[in-house]
Copies of this chain bind each other. A is one copy, B any other.
Amino acid sequence: METLSHQELTRLLLALGVMLLAARALGELARRLRQPAVVGEITAGILLGPTVLGALTPTWNAFLFPVHGGLPAALGGLTTLSIVLFLLVAGMEVDLSTIWKQGRTAIAVSASGLVFPFAVGFLSAWFAPSLLGMHRGADALVFALFFATALSITALPVIAKILMDMDLYRSDLGMLIVAAAVFDDLVGWIVFAVILGLVGGGVSGGIPIGTTVALTLGFAALVLTLGKWLVNRVLPWIQAHTSWPGGVLGFAVSIALVCAACTSWIGIHAIFGAFLFGIALGESEHLQERTRATLEHFVSFIFAPLFFASIGLRVNFLEHFDLLLVVVVLLVGTAGKTLGCWAGARYAGVTQREAWAIGFGMNARGAMEVILGLLALEAGIIDARMFVALVVLALVTSMTSGSLMQRLLGLGRTRAIRFADFLAPRSYLSPLRSTERRGCIQELVRAVCDEKVLQAAEVEREVWQREQIESTGLANGVAVPQARLEGLGRPRVAVGLSRSGVDFDCEDGELAHLIILVLTSTDDHRAQLEILSDIGRTFRRPEMVEKVLMVDTYTQFLATLKVNPPTGPHVTRRE
């Protein structure tokens, strides 16, 4: 077997390690900046690719990501596997009943979001081919058809990732966008297969286009009916007679790969097969939560970052950059898709705000656009300038649609508040020096008061007054002394641990070991409610208090909170 040399393997492992590290790190940074993680992951790829690292240290770039030999093939195989598995997980999360419920709207959005950009793209390419970077000698009709398709396509993986990152994936709006995107992408890929057939390229290896369409529809229908039924019958058998959870995991991944190979053979992209099988699998009542979680965690945090980082590796964005072309493609592309989807949504009776959110959501391109552009470049339909413009369109729309949707839907403001969001190292006291109620409150108040804005003595009086009205001791050794102050602004929280215990007149008569001071503004009723509710949910189980009492540092305290997420309903939970 002709395989990679020892030195190539070293480079592959290093490249994968660096890509994953950078993608995860920038993904986390993006989350901090309230962006979807995928934006950070794509950026990591651009930094590591020819655009930045390649320009700064060409030697290192060529060492890590060479363009010849076995390594690009190995990396390409891995990123394809990654995106296939990511679409399997995305499919598992699809709720078919929600899609049927959204049926009429989804059809309106996808049809309008397909026809409108297609028309805009076709007409502009037909009347201004040279402006749009038609390859010399390419057929004008083929070029116009390609450009129209490129503008109509979305990017199911990127859209799914953005919706997941924003915790919107399983919502009605999320399922509507996913359904419309699946439809648009399927049609887009079929049209693209036609175009490649016209120039004699043939992604589908000689399968006539009519057959591709028929096979696509047939395959989808088969997987979603017979396949779904079979999966539901087979899962209990696998769980009963093979090792757990290995049996189900191996089954899910191997069948997803075979389905991906099927759609790839049909001539549409491999991801559709994995996505369809994912839907069939996710619909089964016998799929265990634990199997779902194992697949989802591994795929979302290992495979997905690797794939999205690999997008940026593919081109040098500065070399073939044509500003005019980029601006034209960006404007035409964004206007066509956004307006098309918006119009469809409005027609189906969606509110103004949500219709715009749908438009911007559907506008996300990403991987699909890049793959389509790459194939068109290889088939001699477009030139390198147009390719870069398409890639820029893909990146810009992927990066902006998340935050535009977030702003339109006002998600920044409805996010659930957690008490740890308002903690700081200096407001974490372990152990508390005092052993009686008043002294503890004094210590905690001092930890959050800076004498300029907040007078400790005054705050302490308020907290003590509140404490007199009714004791703030809860169950499990937790107490939440609190006060609402005028004009406080952002809430302040301090945590104090007491191993010996303090009498806070707790519900169960025990001493309090974990004392959390909560100060909120008089005009922010919601903050106080949510913080207190979050504390209650977090420390509902007595083990949790015991765990927290055993930590040594502030960081370990935060880590313990994170790895033991609260259970039970929250006061204001967005669904």
A residues bordering B, Cβ < 8 Å?
A: 1-4, 6-14, 16-18, 20-21, 23-24, 28, 31, 37, 65, 67-78, 80-81, 84, 203, 205, 235-247, 249-251, 253-258, 260-261, 264-265, 270, 286, 288, 290, 293-295, 297-298, 300-302, 305, 313-314, 375, 553, 555-559, 561-563, 565
User: Is A261's CB under 8 angstroms from B17's CB?
Assistant: yes
Tell me how far the C-beta of A20 lies from the nearest C-beta in chain B, rounded to whole angstroms.
Answer: 4
A250 touches B301 (CB 8 A): yes
B73 touches A203 (CB 8 A): no
Residues in B with CB closer than 8 Å to A242 are: 24, 28
Query: In the complex the two chains form, is B203's CB within 8 Å of A6's CB?
Result: yes
**Closest B residue by C-beta to A84:** B13
Q: Is the CB of A75 within 8 A of B76?
A: no
Q: Cβ of A80 and Cβ of B13 under 8 Å apart?
A: yes
Could you tell me the dominant secondary structure of chain A's interface residues?
A: helix
Report B-chain residues with C-beta under 8 Å of the C-beta of A8.
73
- Select from chain B the residue with minimum beta-carbon distance to A315: B1
Closest residue of B by beta carbon distance from A202: B6
State how many copies of this chain the complex holds: 2
A261 touches B10 (CB 8 A): yes
- The smallest C-beta distance from A398 to any residue of chain B, in angstroms, reads 19
Contact check, B1 vs A236: say whether CB atoms are below 8 A apart.
Answer: no
Nearest B-chain residue to A264, judged by Cβ:
B10
Q: How far is the CB of A436 from chain B (nearest CB, A)?
A: 31
Q: Is the beta-carbon distance between B558 and A14 smaller than 8 angstroms?
A: no
Q: Return chain B residues, CB-CB under 8 Å to A264.
A: 6, 9-10, 13
**Within the assembled complex, what's the spacing in Å between the Cα atoms of A84 and B237?**
32
Asked if A77 contacts B247 (CB within 8 A), the reply is: no
> Contact at B16–A81, with CB atoms within 8 Å?
yes
Complex CA distance for A561 and B558, rounded to whole angstroms: 36
A7 touches B258 (CB 8 A): no
In the complex, which residues of chain B have a beta carbon less than 8 angstroms from the beta carbon of A70?
70, 72-74, 76-77
B84 and A241 contact, CB distance less than 8 A: no
